Amino acid sequence: MLDHIPAADLTIEDVRTAHERIRPHIRRTPIMTSDYLNDLTGAQLYFKCENFQEAGAFKVRGASNAVFGLSDEMATKGVCTHSSGNHALSLSYAAGRRGIPCNVVMPRTAPQAKKDAVRRYGGTITECDPSTTSREATFAEVQARTGGEFVHPYNDPRVITGQATCSAELLEQTDGLDALIAPIGGGGMVSGTCLTVSNLAPETAIYAAEPEQADDAYRSFKAGHIIADDAPKTVADGLLVPLKENTWHFVSNHVTDIFTASEQEIIDAMKLTWKYLRVVMEPSSAVPLATILKNPDTFRGKRVGVIVTGGNVDLDKLPWLKA
């Protein structure tokens, strides 16, 4: 079974199988461009808008691959997970489409928009404190109680393989890319991107973008081993979690570099995209543009794919309107 395949043994054939499995449950999201942002960065930016998934995030790809890959027997007790938000609601969405239960552990500080979506899709939330320690302890209790299949938000080959379908589409939708950049939290999207791109477009550089205030992936990458924060704080609420062994495999082997951005740079980039792309993206999704603006020499003159990971935002609490 795919969940027992080590990350290192995943192949592009696994990605193709995942893509066929999840196709009825996801959208082939469009690529958006902005002449204004191209002029500003000197690059050709191709924004792959996963915020336009029905559930508002790329995580519906990995969640659907896990949920629809379960045998009928495994599916009876449903699925469970812990997540800062988008994996929780995406797993609830996929479980709802299959008609099986979904239990999720979320930090009480998660955006209301994300908690509301979990409940709308039929998921059950148990809240925890906003730290990795609390999250893991609370989850152990929930999993023991429900007996559901654990679908880790990123450290799961089924999830990584599902996320890998995003860059497969992006490569098809563009005419070759010099570079591709995605936000990094636990590394699920970046790992999926590495799996696809290292096979289909090995000449394309892969960058990861991370908040300075949750820069464990950056520090891990520079140190050569996983370093975890316990309770980082950043406006990019989707990027709070640390790398794990499956994602570290891809990050350490295939990522060209990791760039970081400050809170203000993330907020400024978020507002720029709302204004000029006219898409509602969440703070986490703005980190790549923030780092492109901060490292112009790396991207100038290049064709750059930018993965817009999600668009589940509290519209009543926009970060540039904070008092």
Interface region with a copy of itself, contact rule CB under 8 A, candidates 50-58, 103-111, 140-148, 192-200:
50-58
Mark the segment that binds a copy of itself (CB under 8 A) among 47-55, 123-131, 170-178, 193-201: 47-55
Is the Cβ of residue 12 or residue 279 nearer to a copy of itself in the bound state?
279
By CB under 8 A, residue 280 contacts a copy of itself: yes
Q: Which of 32, 75, 118, 266 binds a copy of itself (CB under 8 A)?
A: 32
Q: Which stretch binds a copy of itself (CB under 8 A): 7-15, 48-56, 66-74, 254-262?
A: 48-56
Part in contact with a copy of itself (CB under 8 A); list of ranges 51-59, 193-201, 290-298, 299-307: 51-59
CB 212 within 8 A of CB 261: yes
| Contact flag: residue 46 with a copy of itself (CB under 8 A) | no
C-alpha pair distances (Å), 165 with each of 112, 151, 169, 181, 297 = 28, 18, 6, 15, 29
State the nearest-atom distance from the C-beta of 240 to a copy of itself, in Å.
Answer: 22
Contact flag: residue 315 with a copy of itself (CB under 8 A): yes
- Please identify, among the stretches 76-84, 98-106, 274-282, 288-296, the one whose residues bind a copy of itself according to the rule CB under 8 A: 274-282
User: Taking the complex as a whole, how short is the minimal distance between the CB of residue 33 and a copy of itself, in angstroms?
Assistant: 8
CB of 187 to a copy of itself, least distance (A): 24
3-state DSSP call for residue 312?
coil
Distance of closest approach, residue 311 Cβ to a copy of itself, in angstroms: 4
8, 20, 54, 108: which one contacts a copy of itself (CB under 8 A)? Answer: 54
Among 197, 281, 286, 292, binds a copy of itself (CB under 8 A): 281
Residue 253 · residue 151 · CB < 8 Å: no
Rounded to whole angstroms, the Cα distance separating 193 from 207 reads 10
Name the 3-class secondary structure at 281.
Answer: coil
Minimum CB separation from a copy of itself for residue 46, in Å? 14
Q: Which residues contact 229 (CB under 8 A, 6 or more apart)?
A: 132, 214, 215, 216, 240, 242
- Site track for a copy of itself across 98-137, x = CB under 8 A: ---------------x------x-----------------
Three-state DSSP at 282 gives coil
Determine the 3-state secondary structure of 49 from DSSP. Answer: strand
Q: For residue 31, give the 3-state DSSP assignment.
A: strand
With contact defined as beta carbons under 8 Å apart, do 183 and 239 qualify? yes
| Pick from 290, 175, 303: nearest CA to 239 | 290
Does position 311 bind a copy of itself by CB under 8 A?
yes
Length of the chain as a residue count: 323
Closest to 152 measured CA to CA, from 193, 104, 113: 104
**Of 89, 98, 94, which is closest to residue 125 (Cα–Cα)?**
89
Q: Which residues bind a copy of itself (CB under 8 A)?
A: 30, 32, 34-36, 51-52, 54, 56, 113, 120, 271, 274-275, 277-281, 311, 315-316, 318, 320-321
